Amino acid sequence: MKLVWSPETASKAYIDTIKSFEARQESGVPELVAAMAAGWNAQLIVETWSRGGVIATSVGLAVAGRHTLGRHVCVVPDEVSRSEYLEAIRAAGGAAAEMIVGEPESAMEELEEIEFMVIDSRRSDYSKVLRMAKLSSRGAVLVCKNAASSGAGDASRWLSVVEGGSRRLVRSVFLPVGEGLDIAHVASTGGGKGQSRWIKHWDQRSGEEIVIRK
């Protein structure tokens, strides 16, 4: 089996997230990630968060988890971040995620079958964390937020994340939403091994579709 897109569920999560922020006049990142996670019916949603981080994305992911009846996990580096996260999510009126305290690299050992993951690309180790993630056999969607200033948006960067393993990159896209979202869709396992393939990447900043043979 593989991830199957449901536009109805995506729309419901998008609208419910908007309702959660009726007075907010910011970017549409929370609404977008909520729609993607719910639309793909992700059963394990993982995010990383640390002190001073924006809580709105977490609220959107919580909404998505409610629609998919899936598990929503937030990885924080220490107890101080955990306390700040819980206080912020309560203030925002969102549902708190299941918490894992520790560095993301270690947390990846505890999490299997990840189907949707959001990570801050301002982290110096974000590529390493993505490579260590144990993705679902049904496929996965990976999202790097704050990507505009990190050199993201290059399809070859995603190839370096999945290279050498059983994962296969289907497509990637950079969206100029908020501080930039770099998104990759990883295929379900099985089939196509040992064969060259074409990978499409859509860069909305330049309007170009880039095709890479891997």
Cβ atoms 113, 137 nearer than 8 A: yes
Q: Letter for the amino acid at 140? A: A
Domain 7-213, what fold? Rossmann fold (3.40.50)
To 5 degrees, how large is the angle CA 34–CA 40–CA 43?
A: 85
| Res 94: pLDDT | 86
pLDDT, averaged across the chain: 84
Rg of the Cα atoms in the chain: 16
> Where along the chain do its domains lie?
7-213
Whether 190 shows a pLDDT value over 50: the answer reads: yes
Question: Which residue's structure tokens are 């070859």?
Answer: 156
Angle at alpha carbon of residue 148, lines to 142 and 154, rounded to 5°: 60
Q: What is the mean pLDDT of residues 7-13?
A: 95
What's the pLDDT tens digit per position in 74-127?
999 999 999 999 999 999 888 999 999 998 888 999 999 999 999 998 888 888
